[in-house]
Structure 1
Amino acid sequence: MQLTLVSHHLCPYVQRAAIVLLEKGVPFGRRWVDLANKPDWFRAISPLGKTPVLLADDTPVFESAVICEYLDETHEPRLHPADPLQRAQHRAWMEFGSAVLNTIWAFYTAPDAAALEARRDELRTKFEQLEAVVEGPFFAGERFSIVDAVFGPVFRYFDVFEALGEPSLFGGLPRVRAWRAALAQRPAVREAAVPDYRERLTQFLLDRRSELSRRIERQLASVK
């Protein structure tokens, strides 16, 4: 079966599916789509108008969590735990990862300083919750899981935020910091993003015309 991952260059949900594919060593192609100008062929295979979509031959599977589950059922090695209760817990933390991504969106689109700091506090609270459950070096210990595939793209945002002058959220969270570092070194996590991800995300953030956009503009002007 030929697998094609319909992708957007910055989509973290695309990255999580790509990480699972790369971890499993499954050959796949990419087909890129501009979500600001969705072509008819894409609308036909993505009822929600979102990436990713996995084309299994000509059959589309949409929604990243569903794609990851499908891949885990059909390709070794299995990334979910074998125990049903642990597997359910992992699926719950995958959903938590999506909630973190929603808060990241609210952070970089915050219209003013008060809103930005409120979202920063929300993110800090979420990472404090993770600090209590992460085992290390990965989410559930030595074994890489789909939860790790979910959080690799999450931490990638903060690599860019910090490079652009934003303070770290991870002080006093040693387990989360170590987890972030372990994911950053994982080949599948690195290879899931496009080579110019940082430049693309920086421009994307500037285009939001948000409080964070203005801070980035000042930071970039100060280093010229």
Structure 2
Amino acid sequence: MDAVFKALADPTRRSLLDELFREDGQTLGALEARFDITRFAVMKHLKLLEAAGLVVSRRRGREKLHFLNPVPIRLVHDRWVSKYAEPWAEGLSGLKSRLEDPMEKVFEIYIRTTPERLWEAITDPEIRSKYNFGARVTSDWTPGSRFEMSAPGAPGPLGEGRNLEVDPPRKLVQNMVALWSDEAKSEGTSRVTWEIEPVGDSCRLTVTHDELREGAFEELYGGWPMILSGLKTWLETGELLTTPGSLLYGTP
């Protein structure tokens, strides 16, 4: 967490995060145009933010796009804020909406575990319920198969979709229709990609939620930082996060 605090200590880096919060997936050139500093200085700040896990970059054709990764801030909140303040602050509230191109959200986290154990935690319904708001995801986890999200405390199904690519323990690609509210359901189908990469004695988990309508209902993707921080906590400590979000559809 020291790298996160160090990265946040600089006002320019905080402003870069504000810009990505305002409009995610920007190029270096687009970000540079918003600051009265050199391209090299912006690049240096972005590298420090990437090293802290606060920014994730992705190539799209010839462009390199930068995405805000709110998961490290969520982890800081879990450790230092949630003990004293309830309910949880929503990590992505106030995002400006536009109605132009499909939207993409990228979340990245490092977890001290093996790829096999992480895959099990993603696909086992009982384990999944421990960090996914009490919801279970059931499927036979074969390519083309269906999955359903449900919970004993929910009035009906919470979500459904199809497994587009299943490559254990490396990659899972799913399309998804959220059913937990009328607003979420009205957004239609989006896509979620889970990518697991071993790094030393840990794994880097990248979750990409894309094919979202620009300006999509925030509830559709805003829970990922809480889900991933809960997943990390459970795998590394065996403990559950007992927050309003984790207790939404059940009890730990």
Please indicate, yes or no, whether the TM-score normalized by the shorter chain is above 0.5.
no
Q: TM-score range by the shorter chain?
A: under 0.3
Whose strand proportion is higher, 1 or 2? Answer: 2
Q: TM-score, normalised by structure 2?
A: 0.24
If asked which structure has higher relative contact order (CA below 8 Å, sep 6+), I would say 1
Whose helix proportion is higher, 1 or 2? Answer: 1
Q: TM-score, normalised by structure 1?
A: 0.26
